[in-house]
Amino acid sequence: MQDRKGHRKHDRQFKEEAVRLVTEGGRTVSDVAHGLGIHENLLHTWKRKHKENPAGSSSEKGHLKPSDEELRRLQKENANLKEDREILKKALAIFSKHPK
């Protein structure tokens, strides 16, 4: 599958199988990447992410670690609160002006 920029998107199962071929299959990254038609650096990235988080190595949206989900939620909430504060500041400025 390809996205709008022409980059192929690979599902989680494809990524896990590619990493498994390298880690358990005794094949080189170069060999597996060439066989799958992907760049070696991409496979190295998948392999590194798998090593960091073997239970959920996918970087696809919706597959975040709970701590990352919480961070994303808090960042969104923070942005909303900042926006609300700016609106209130502007409203206060408007209503506190005295007519001349």
Q: Determine the pLDDT at residue 73.
A: 92
> 36 and 61 in contact (C-beta within 8 Å)?
no
pTM for the predicted model, two decimal places:
0.49
Q: How far apart are alpha carbons 88 and 43 in whole angstroms?
A: 49
pLDDT attached to residue 8: 72
pLDDT digits (tens, 9 = 90+) for 58-79: 444 556 778 888 999 999 999 9
Give the count of beta carbons closer than 10 Å to the beta carbon of residue 52.
9
CB 18 within 8 A of CB 46: yes
**pLDDT at res. 59:** 47
At 75-99, the pLDDT tens digits run 999 999 999 999 999 999 888 886 6
Pair of tokens at residue 88: 């209130």
